[in-house]
Amino acid sequence: MKIIPAIDIIDGKCVRLSQGDYDRKTEYHSDPVTVARSFEEAGIQHLHLVDLDGAKAKHIVNRKVLENICSQTNLQVDFGGGIKSEEDIKIALGAGANQITIGSLAAKQPDLFFRFLEKYGADKIILGADARKGKIAVDGWKESTDWDVEDFISAFAEKGVEYVICTDIAKDGMMAGPSLPLYQRIMQRNPDLKLIASGGVSSMEDIAACTSANMYGAIIGKAIYEGAIPLEKLAELC
């Protein structure tokens, strides 16, 4: 299973939100590149980078942060937040992202999403499936849709999506463990899916549980910054 630390960006700084609430923000570091380097030095190979300003603005805002991390580390970066157009895709990939995560666009304009999937390839585009109370949420988690998260993921997997990041918003930043029953149901319906758990991973036991559930990867954010999961432990896994 891939260990994937997260860096969320607001105003060019490394922050974490609780349950996606911009008013419940904690700043952890002023230089995301320094944080990314610390992950790489620990032997970690992957990074989940989220442009929270971009998610709110509905276009990429923190392009420079992405460029700096990609040019100054060898981390394999998946980038999300505000990708709403082909121009945004070109910006992200051109800045060095290995993959991009698209969520809101997929829910609101699925035909356009599939055109991008066909053009850029299923190895480059990750479907972002962010759920609140079992329903897909969009636009920085500020709006809920009628899409059931399990049906949403299955429908897109049937049409060629290979990678999915599924975030239970209620778990995000709460250090209360991941939504394993949800992930297990998704994997039962889509056994070949490369499903990445996001939200609530807060201990080595959570990581082991995600591994046992056949997750492709687990995104870890606040637990690293708060010291609940030491980088040395993650280094051992990597």
3 state SS for 99-158: EEEECHHHHHCHHHHHHHHHHHCCCCEEEEEEEECCEEEECCCCEEEEEEHHHHHHHHHH
Q: Give residue 172's domain range.
A: 2-237
For residues 162 and 213, what is the distance between their CA atoms, to the nearest angstrom? 17
Q: How confident is the model at residue 15 (pLDDT cuts 50, 70, 90)?
A: confident
Q: Specify the number of domains making up the chain.
A: 1
The mean pLDDT of the chain is 93
The CATH number that applies at residue 210 is 3.20.20.70
For residues 131 and 169, what is the distance between their CA atoms, to the nearest angstrom? 6
Question: For residue 72, what are the CA distances in angstroms to 35, 46, 65?
Answer: 12, 14, 11
For residues 127 and 166, what is the distance between their CA atoms, to the nearest angstrom? 8
Would the pTM of this model clear 0.75, i.e. be above it? yes
Q: How confident is the model at residue 217 (pLDDT cuts 50, 70, 90)?
A: very high
Lowest mean pLDDT among 26-30, 32-36, 162-166, 200-204: 26-30
Q: How many CA atoms lie within 13 A of 75 on its CB side?
A: 34
Active-site residue list: 8, 130
